[in-house]
Amino acid sequence: MERKKGTSGFASMNPDKQREIARKGGMAAHRKGTAHEFSADEARNAGRKGGNSVSANRSHMVEIGRRGGIRSAVSRRKMRLERLGGGGTGSSQPRKAGGESAVNFIQTSAMEQSSAPQTVIQPTDDTGSQLGGHQAL
């Protein structure tokens, strides 16, 4: 007899039913005294461990930094445009010729620039050997 996948078990239940069962289990564990609650030190160490794990992935951190730089540049430009005024279009956002929002244009331009291919430069010594093993972005 062949069993259908996904027709039985906890994962196939309605999410509300799962939540109710999990809630009851949590309450029972607390009544019994076996529920684990993080102390401030345990939570701090867990956060530090997670942060170290994430920051070990250099390409991920580079991407986060790039996105943050783009976002702050867009915000700066948006603030500058807002200070200059909206041009009487009845909208709170300044308009470029053709009706496109200047803020949307800047955001789109910044995102297009960030997805451009990056050239990786490797520092070398006089003999042409690579130095340090780090990539300069």
Residue 87 within a domain = yes
Residue 17's pLDDT band (cuts 50, 70, 90):
very high
Convert the pLDDT of each residue in 87-135 to its tens digit: 444 445 555 455 555 555 555 555 555 555 555 555 556 665 655 544 4
Residue 31 within a domain = no
Which comes out higher in pLDDT, residue 61 or 101?
61
Residue 42 reports pLDDT greater than 90: yes
Residue 35: per-residue pLDDT: 87
Average pLDDT of span 80-93: 66
Name the region of 21 (left: φ>0; alpha: ψ -120 to 50; beta: rest).
alpha
Residue 7: per-residue pLDDT: 73
Residue 40 within a domain = no
List residues bridging with 136 in a β-sheet: 121
Residue 84 within a domain = yes
Return the C-alpha torsion angle 60, 103, 113, 115, nearest 10. 40
Domain count across the chain: 1
Residue 79: per-residue pLDDT: 93
Residue 28 within a domain = no
Residue 76 reports pLDDT greater than 60: yes
H/E stretch holding 82 reads helix 58-84
Kindly report the average pLDDT of the chain as a whole number. Answer: 75
* CA pair distance 135, 121, nearest whole angstrom: 7
Residue 96 within a domain = yes
Average pLDDT of span 61-86: 91
Domain that holds residue 99: 58-112
Residue 66 reports pLDDT greater than 70: yes
